[in-house]
Amino acid sequence: MDWETAAIARVIREARHHLYTWYCERKFGVSTGGLIQSRDLGVENRDAIGYSALEYEYLLWALPAIPFTPDKVVFVDYGAGKGRALAAAAMHPFRKVIGVEISGALVEIARRNLARVKRRCAGQVEIHHSDAAAFPVPDDANVFFFFNPFAGATLAKVVERIHESWIAQPRDLFVIYFNHGAFDECIEGQPWLQKVHETSFCGFYRLASAL
């Protein structure tokens, strides 16, 4: 393929992506685009990573992979940002959809977006303004969603909190983690959680004892 053909193909892919994003934003009734650097988020956590929303193609591919009956799903999105994943999850008949976001500015945008979501099916949708490391994992939370929201000590503490929650209230768990390299390193040597599917950009994980 010569450079002109490659350039045309790239333009077509980008145009298709932008059109699909526009379609999904209109369908859900939200506005979640844009890129915000971590230094502009107004937070003091060195582990925080700047805001960008996961592409709808990947998001809508991942949600149907959740292996639980929808009315049993309590979905937690860490690093919820402007609420794109929450809005998509709210279109499913999940029992509860929960977002956790450290940036107050993003929380306000997410709340406005969630208030506008069209044809919401989830029983309850909420977002919490909190550092993920300090957020108490709900006893009934069983699906945990991450799109590369933070790293380092924050990620390690979140994994620890999920594990402690499971010990206190045993239940089956499922994790969806995009850009999962840091997560794989974090759970290395922790046999309670096992990877059940992997692509170059996403890993699915489930409670080992449930397999």
8 pLDDT exceeds 70? no
The CATH number for 39's domain is 3.40.50.150
6-19: average pLDDT: 74
9 pLDDT exceeds 70? no
Give per-residue pLDDT as tens, 98-137: 999 999 999 999 999 999 998 899 999 999 999 999 999 9
Give per-residue pLDDT as tens, 19-32: 999 999 999 999 99
**Pair of tokens at residue 207:** 């409670």
Helix, strand, or coil here: 189?
coil
**Pair of tokens at residue 57:** 């193609």
State the pLDDT at residue 105: 92
Query: Is residue 148 within a helix (H) or strand (E), and if so which, with residue range?
Result: none
State the pLDDT at residue 153: 93
State the pLDDT at residue 35: 87
User: Does the pTM exceed 0.85?
Assistant: yes
Give per-residue pLDDT as tens, 152-169: 999 999 999 999 999 999
Number of domains in the chain: 1
Give per-residue pLDDT as tens, 61-78: 999 999 999 999 999 999
Calpha distance 153→64 (Å, rounded): 30
Exposure string for 89-103, b = 16+ CB within 10 A, e = fewer: bbbbebbbbbbbbbb
Calpha distance 100→114 (Å, rounded): 14
Q: Which domain holds residue 114?
A: 3-210
What are the helix (H) ranges across 126-200?
Answer: 152-168, 181-187
- For residue 149, which phi and psi values (nearest 5 degrees)? -85, -30
State the pLDDT at residue 201: 94
Give per-residue pLDDT as tens, 91-109: 999 999 999 999 999 999 9
